[in-house]
A and B are shown apart, each in its own frame.
Chain A
Amino acid sequence: GAVVSQHPSWVICKSGTSVKIECRSLDFQATTMFWYRQFPKQSLMLMATSNEGSKATYEQGVEKDKFLINHASLTLSTLTVTSAHPEDSSFYICSVISGTGYGYTFGSGTRLTVV
């Protein structure tokens, strides 16, 4: 299966600042990547679908202007949390579809803490 690298694994930022999270597909050209958010004891919630070379598709209730997604190449998608607030503190995870489209590989996740 695909190998997905997510960076950073954890980050602490001040309220009002922006944070960028990177998701790289190391051995597979990923035309589609997914960004999830997971709160403690909750399931993974899909935030957006990132398509290479086009605008991301956001799920209902996810602010496009707050969570900026850029998928500029087949191996890299970035999620930028703009003007972060404490309520944005969460575990963010990216995923790629590998192979036939039925396999999904996840990154190791990024723990964001906004203080």
Chain B
Amino acid sequence: KQEVTQIPAALSVPEGENLVLNCSFTDSAIYNLQWFRQDPGKGLTSLLLIQSSQREQTSGRLNASLDKSSGRSTLYIAASQPGDSATYLCAVRPEDSNYQLIWGAGTKLIIKP
């Protein structure tokens, strides 16, 4: 059974620092992996999607990497800003499903001004 883990559960860093959020999964048979952002009281917004054949995706200050064989993904945030404060969730789509997403519990990120 696929399990997705995100460590740490919470992270607080000063503004301007580069940081890495981690996501691990137990079954490498995935179709893709997505990183989402959730602001308090809001829905989830897709940030980056990495197909299983890809190693990384970039969008602005965000870079997501995928190492499928080791069951790991990282989300790198460069030059963090207070506006980056949110909960970040990763989700994997199993190879045998075209709609199911297996979710991590998220990392709550606080960027201190």
A is bound by B? no
Q: Which residues of A contact B (CB under 8 A)?
A: none
